C-alpha cells in the first residue's frame, strides 16, 4: 500500500518500521502462546476485532473519519478480506506447530511468490536479474522445507502439517499483494486497513460454531493484546511510509528474524536450525536482489522523465 511522502525523514521512517516489525513479532508470539487452547480461527477474530478501535483512533487523529472509510469498490475489499483472512488463519495454525523463527523465515518467501504471480496474473515481465532472484529464493525455501517435507515426511506429523500451512499462507499472502496492487488504484490506505480488519472479524466469527472455546482470563488477555499490538504495528508501518520510500524501508523487514530468534528462545525455548538459517539467508538474498533491481529501475524511470520533461 503505497503512500505519498509528507517529508523525507529516513531516521524516523526506519525507526517506525523496525518498531512495527518488532510489534508484529510480539503479536505472533502472543498468538503462538495461546495455540494449545484456542483454535486459529478464534485467534484471527481477536487479532482483527481488537485492532479496529486502534485503527479508528488513528484515523480520527489523522482527520480521516468518516471519509477515509469510504469503499469505492466494496467487492475488492470483500475479496481482499477472504484471501487475507485465509492467509492469517493458516499462519496462526502454523505458529502452533512450528518454531517462531522458522515461521518467520518461510514467510520471507512472500516477495518471491509475488514476483511469480505478478508475471502469471498481471503479465509483468521478469528479466534475467529477477529470474535469478526467484531461483535463489526458491532454493532457500526448498532448503528450509526439506527437513519437514523431504523424504520420509509423514503428513500426520505436526511439524509437517505446520510447514504446509505456512507455505500455503506465504503463497496466499503473495496473492494478497497482487490484489492490493489493484486496490490502490481506486481505494485509499485507510479504507484498505480498516475494512480488512472488519471483514476478517466477521469471517472468523462465522467459524464460532465449529470449535471455539471460552478462553480463561489469562488467555483472553493474551488474545486481546495480540489485537491491540497488531493494530498498533499496522499503524506504525503505514506511518513509516510517510517519511521514507518503500525501497529504502524494505530491508527493515529482515530485522524480524533477529526478533523472532530472541523471542523464540526467551519465550518458547526455541532455537533456529542450520537448514533454516541457510535457507532464510538465500531467500533474503533473493529479495535484496529484487529490491536493488526495483530501485535501479525507479532511478532509470526518474532520469527518463527528467530528460523528457525538462524544467529549465
The domain ranges of the chain are 10-125+152-270
Dmax over CA atoms of the chain, in Å, equals 69
DSSP annotation of 109 reads T
Helix/strand/coil for 311: coil
Half-sphere exposure of 254 (CA within 13 A, CB side): 16
pLDDT in 10s for each residue of the chain, 312 residues: 445 545 677 888 889 999 999 999 999 999 999 999 999 999 999 999 999 999 999 888 888 788 778 888 999 999 999 999 999 999 999 999 999 999 999 999 988 898 888 888 877 777 788 788 888 889 999 999 888 876 555 556 788 899 999 999 999 999 998 888 888 788 887 888 899 999 999 999 999 999 899 999 999 999 999 999 999 998 888 888 888 777 677 788 889 999 999 999 999 999 888 999 999 999 998 888 877 776 665 555 444 443 344 443
Residue 49: which of 191, 169, 199 has the closest Cα? 199
pLDDT tens, residue by residue, 235-256: 888 888 888 777 677 788 889 9
Q: Are 160 and 149 in contact (CB under 8 A)?
A: yes
State pTM to two decimals.
Answer: 0.87
* DSSP3 helix / strand / coil % (the chain, rounded to 5): 75, 0, 25
Altogether, the residues listed in the chain come to a count of 312
Predicted local distance difference test score (pLDDT) of residue 54: 92
Residue 226, judged by CB atoms within 10 A of its CB (0-12, 13-18, 19+), counts as buried
Return the exposure string of 40-73: e unless at least 16 CB atoms fall within 10 Å of the residue's CB, then b: bbbbbbbbbbbbbebbbebbeeeebeeebbebee
Cα 215 to chain centroid distance, Å, stands at: 26
Predicted local distance difference test score (pLDDT) of residue 125: 76
Question: Which single residue is written with the C-alpha cell 506465504?
Answer: 170
217's grid cell: 482470563
Distance in angstroms (rounded) separating the CA atoms of residues 134 and 104: 18
Distance in angstroms (rounded) separating the CA atoms of residues 222 and 226: 6
Q: Are 187 and 199 in contact (CB under 8 A)?
A: no
Distance in angstroms (rounded) separating the CA atoms of residues 131 and 186: 30
Q: Is 146 left (phi over 0), alpha (psi -120 to 50) or beta?
A: alpha
Amino acid at each position: 500500500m503505497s503512500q505519498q511522502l509528507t517529508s523525507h525523514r529516513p531516521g524516523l521512517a526506519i525507526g517506525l518500521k523496525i518498531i512495527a516489525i518488532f510489534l508484529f513479532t510480539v503479536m505472533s508470539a502472543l498468538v503462538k502462546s495461546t495455540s494449545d487452547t484456542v483454535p486459529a480461527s478464534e485467534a484471527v477474530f481477536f487479532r482483527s476485532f481488537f485492532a479496529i478501535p486502534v485503527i479508528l483512533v488513528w484515523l480520527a487523529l489523522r482527520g480521516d473519519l468518516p471519509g477515509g472509510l469510504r469503499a469505492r469498490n466494496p467487492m475488492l475489499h470483500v475479496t481482499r478480506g477472504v484471501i487475507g483472512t485465509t492467509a492469517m488463519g493458516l499462519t496462526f495454525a502454523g505458529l502452533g506447530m512450528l518454531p517462531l523463527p522458522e515461521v518467520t523465515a518461510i514467510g520471507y518467501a512472500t516477495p518471491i511468490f509475488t514476483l511469480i504471480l505478478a508475471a502469471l496474473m498481471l503479465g509483468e515481465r521478469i528479466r534475467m536479474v529477477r529470474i535469478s532472484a526467484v531461483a535463489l529464493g526458491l532454493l532457500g525455501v526448498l532448503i528450509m522445507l526439506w527437513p519437514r517435507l523431504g523424504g520420509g515426511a509423514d503428513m500426520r506429523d505436526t511439524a509437517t502439517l505446520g510447514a504446509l500451512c505456512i507455505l500455503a499462507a506465504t503463497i496466499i499472502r503473495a496473492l494478497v499483494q497482487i490484489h492490493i496492487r489493484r486496490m490502490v488504484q481506486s481505494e485509499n490506505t485507510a479504507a484498505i486497513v480498516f475494512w480488512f480488519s472488519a471483514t476478517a472479524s466477521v469471517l472468523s466469527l462465522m467459524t464460532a460454531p465449529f470449535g471455539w472455546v471460552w478462553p480463561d482470563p489469562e488467555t483472553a488477555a493474551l488474545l486481546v493484546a495480540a489485537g491491540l499490538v497488531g493494530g498498533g504495528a499496522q499503524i506504525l508501518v503505514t506511518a513509516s511510509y510517510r517519511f521514507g520510500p518503500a525501497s529504502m524501508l524494505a530491508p527493515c523487514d529482515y530485522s524480524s528474524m533477529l526478533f523472532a530468534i530472541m523471542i523464540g528462545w526467551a519465550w518458547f525455548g526455541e532455537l533456529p536450525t542450520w537448514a533454516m538459517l541457510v535457507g532464510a539467508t538465500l531467500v533474503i538474498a533473493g529479495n535484496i536482489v529484487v529490491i536493488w533491481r526495483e530501485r535501479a529501475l525507479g532511478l532509470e524511470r526518474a532520469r527518463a522523465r527528467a530528460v523528457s520533461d525538462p524544467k529549465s
